[in-house]
Structure 1
């Protein structure tokens, strides 16, 4: 064969045997090194929470023997005088295999990252987001292998320009046809990654307030306070302002009340300290301030600010009720009247005259009694 004739004619026997020994020795060295490093790092990964160990173990597991053999053959061939066409073919094949190996490494990295995120979601009980994460992994793998396939075909001598152009035109057409679905899909991925809320959170979106029950690929379902289920598209949901009360750490409370204008000044001056004592006597509460705010039309107005140190709304209402009762007992004991807003009617002179004229006309229109 021409290849063997060229090999024998342009290379000595010692050179051929040296190249074979070099290629075989390099292959055995790479296989042994891969096994040794993988076993050592696997033990480290089990003993440590350092995630890089697990990632390197995953990448070493994805390293194939044929890739190590291809590298060994390429190194051995570099020490021989080979035909130009064979050298070109060998380098192209090795590069194609290298791209394939890169795809396997990328796939292993995606699998390791996806597995870690899904494990975290299972530990939090967020099972609905696992579907979105699986879809994200599928999209990442699809993009990765598409690039790998194009690079391999290019190395093997295929003209990929027309293929890339057709894929681009087809992708634009598909994107235009399903742009609403893709918008909701990517919004779902954004929710899964950014986590503005998870299942079980109480949120307010526009005029909708309720508990998140399910986060899907296209819609999110919220159980409102009145009992019905509200279904919202993910794109509309992310386009709105979301208020997540489940992540509230403390609640700031401001309440006002008024007392009568005839309350003595010394009692008014003592009332902020009384309010401080009442608020601080409650559990899980931090007092901020209490002030005689000003003179109102019907009352002397007070403003009180405090913090409830838990997010539970029922706990806040219990605290506010206890404060109101203690405040009412103190006001009753001191003889201080709670002032209510008064309804007043004021008639200007012209309006009063018109009203009197209307009353007189109505009296004249009535029939006279016998």
Structure 2
């Protein structure tokens, strides 16, 4: 069967440069006094993290659909990765074909963010977003249930920024984004340093139970976005915290700031978090990018490769201008997303709010 035509980011008009996963990035630790431990030397596994208990209500008929999906997909994660990627591509194309609302939202977002691109290129990008998300389904399940399959498939650049901050007694706020390999990105990070993660509880109780318990093998602690006390505790203890401020939650918790040249509701919580924790050693704010190179673009028989990029700390952050700070965060995330735009979840309604209220562009 012929593989679906794919969007090739290397041929895009984007000015961002693709990372080179074929060349392993050399990670150099900072110069430290003799005997000073680095975070990789004190890293503790998180597989004993407390899980949420099973609830008998999960056996009710309203949850049977989720049980069926897990019964279908979970055994498939024990197939070779190349087969999983093939299935993921087919799953992505299927979703692109049958879920018209998400396909339409993706096309609208890409038209707003990349007006200079011809429509045919944006259509290829939209399809590849769904292909990448289909692959991401299998990556996430593997990250939860079969993490060792990704041994020796990852390189990292910028690790020294985290090490420097941690060895200076500072917490790190790691600005992630909703990439299609979201949970796998977190698992790969924890091969280098332990990490807490902020999350929004799912509305579906069973789905929330699966996701939360799956992430207990990845994150040292999961912090609900409603639990500020737990967040402050992690910051005061100097932890690394993964926080993703790249979605539209309206203007009540945010301000309007440009994102891909489009005014977008942008969270301001990042600048408030940067003022919490230890006063002597305030948190360091930096960004994380996760990049997947699939077997399609690799020589025959090669495993997929993943590259993690951590940016330098944002200096003089936060400032006295919340709009300027929001714009700055958006610019950092946009620059990373442009490395391969199709690996970001464009099917979310990122531009649904405007200063005067809801936009009607998605109707």
Normalising by structure 2, report the TM-score. Answer: 0.19
Larger radius of gyration: 1
Q: Which has the higher contact order (CA 8 A, sep 6+)?
A: 2
TM-score when normalising by structure 1: 0.19
Whichever structure has more helix as a proportion of its residues is 1
